[in-house]
Amino acid sequence: MQELITKDVKWVPYPLDQLTKAVDKGDVDAFAAWDPFATLAERDNNYKVITDIAQDPLFKGKSCCFLYASNKEIKKNPEKIAALVRAYKAADEWIAKNPEEAAKIEVDKKYVSTTDVKLVTELIKNYDFQYTTDAAKEDVKYFVGQLNKTGFLKKDTDPEKFANDVYYDASGK
């Protein structure tokens, strides 16, 4: 594959449910999306996967998701933030052990943009649900470095400084 030159890339925000239409109209050439949008585009529109962060060696084993809280809330209610993290971890573990039931809840409550319980179950089974704070700060640095390369972030964004400025470990490690 020809190496992509970042000056040739223009990042354009689009609502996820309009991405395939934007490609069909020629407004965009490619897109990044999360599931179920990505899998539905592949399955229903015969799109080709360029990279899958759950499988690609550049991303596999890295944190896919981060929790966010304002500095104000962290200072004012650190115990609430810690409780949120514990609840998130417990939910992570439950989902990993109960993917079918989790999928049914997601579909029934309309937390996902599909009614296909089987698809959502398979997607859940393909994800690595192991919440950890051990590697999260390093993953923030890694992703900032990668986003620098794509031109999504300014080239002078320092991954170390960025991670130090934004990362907070609510577990107190």
Residue 129's pLDDT is what? 64
More confident residue, 19 or 103: 103
Q: Where are the domains of the chain?
A: 1-61
Percentage of the chain with pLDDT > 70? Answer: 92
CA gyration radius, the chain: 18
User: What span, in angstroms and rounded, lies between the C-alpha atoms of 138 and 106?
Assistant: 30
| Lowest mean pLDDT segment, chosen from 18-32, 46-60, 97-111 | 46-60
* pTM exceeding 0.75: no
User: What span, in angstroms and rounded, lies between the C-alpha atoms of 43 and 32?
Assistant: 16
End-to-end CA distance of the chain: 43
Residue-wise pLDDT tens digits, 52-98: 877 788 777 787 778 889 999 999 999 999 999 899 889 989 999 99
Mean pLDDT, to the nearest integer, of 17-40?
Answer: 87
Q: By the 8 A CB rule, do 141 and 163 touch?
A: yes
Mean pLDDT, to the nearest integer, of 94-112?
Answer: 95
Residue 110's pLDDT is what? 94
Residue-wise pLDDT tens digits, 124-135: 998 876 667 778
User: What span, in angstroms and rounded, lies between the C-alpha atoms of 32 and 152?
Assistant: 12
The C-alpha torsion from 31 through 21 and 108 to 69, rounded to 10°, is 40
The two tokens of residue 111 are 């937390």
Residue 158's pLDDT is what? 95
Percentage of the chain with pLDDT > 90? Answer: 36
Residue 2's pLDDT is what? 47
User: What span, in angstroms and rounded, lies between the C-alpha atoms of 124 and 48?
Assistant: 21
Token match 């040739």: residue? 8
